[in-house]
Amino acid sequence: MVYDATISGLNDSLWTPPFVLPRAEAVLDQMDENSWMGDLDMGEQFLNFPLHPKLQRHCGIDVRPYLGGGRKRTMWWCWARCMMGLKPSPYLAVKGTYLAEEVVHGDPGDPANLFHWAQVCLNLPGSPTYQPHLPWVQKMTSAGEVAGGSEQYVDDIQTIGCSADHCWQLGHRIATTFAFLGLQIALRKFRPPTPHPGPWAGTIAFSTPAGVGVTCPARK
């Protein structure tokens, strides 16, 4: 199906609040020289989230030219999901995904949680112990490792683990929990854990024995 919600005129009556998307620093702050990254993609991201019932009745489609069978009476089908071209769709989809991520991350105080962390290490400029090559704020496990994490840029999710196996488990946790919540993960787009992942949010963050770095795809 091909559709464009911008031409109905409904957007002129809608308002969307501003919202923030993460940048490369969000991933770099969760990495060290031992980090592995994996990549998951949501399938049909906008269509995972319903429109408010009061908005749905204004998103009707007259299907009489296609399914009317010669009827003169209008046949309306109601669009019930966020759609491409509708002004609030990006906000609603990103907000809904962040709420789902809270379920995925669970209780950080539980040692059995894959996203467990026990302490927050501060490395602030001006402090006697400041190390310029380390993030300013970093979550650490009780074993002294960087805590597992994930970041999402619209429909692109990157997992960050302390080993290949840990990264696999983080991806599995996200995919299964999202499925339980009724959200699609397009597993055909899955990229396995690697210290040198593909692009995310227009940049490539990677880990080496010498430390972490970030670069940019040649096309960008």
pLDDT at 217: 80
Amino acid 77: pLDDT: 81
In the prediction, which pLDDT does 128 show?
93
Residue-wise pLDDT tens for the chain (220 aa)?
677 888 888 899 999 999 989 988 889 889 988 999 999 999 988 999 999 888 888 888 778 777 767 667 777 788 889 988 999 999 999 999 999 999 999 999 898 999 999 999 999 999 999 988 888 999 999 888 899 999 999 899 999 999 999 999 999 999 999 999 999 999 888 889 999 998 888 888 999 998 888 998 888 7
Taking only the tens place, the pLDDT of each residue in 108-164 is: 989 899 999 999 999 999 999 998 888 899 999 988 889 999 999 989 999 999 999
Give whole-number Cα distances, 86 to 7, 61, 81, 104, 137, in Å: 9, 14, 10, 28, 37
One-letter amino acid at 185 equals I
The pLDDT value given to residue 78: 83
**Largest distance between two CA atoms of the chain:** 81
Question: Residue 192: how many CB atoms within 10 A of its CB?
Answer: 13
Residue 57: its pLDDT value, please? 84
DSSP 185: B
Contacts of 86 (CB under 8 A, 6+ apart): 5, 6, 10, 11, 14, 51, 59
> What pLDDT does residue 69 have?
72
pLDDT at 198: 87
Question: Rounded CA gap, 114 and 27, in Å?
Answer: 17
Domains parsed from the chain with CATH numbers? 17-50+85-195 (3.30.70)
* C-beta separation of 167 from 37 below 8 A: yes
Supply the pLDDT for residue 1: 67
Distance CA(58)–CA(165), nearest Å, equals: 48
Task: For residue 176, give the 3-state DSSP assignment.
Answer: helix
Q: Please tell me whether the overall predicted TM-score, pTM, comes out greater than 0.95 for this model.
A: no
In sequence order, the β-bridge partners of residue 61 are: 77
Burial category of 85 from C-beta neighbours within 10 Å (exposed 0-12, middle 13-18, buried 19 and up): middle
Residue 144: what pLDDT? 86
Percent of the chain topping pLDDT 90? 54
DSSP per-residue codes, 21-89: ---HHHHHTT--TT-EEEEEEBSSGGGGSBPPHHHHTTSEEE-HHHH-TT--S--EEE--B--TT-TTH
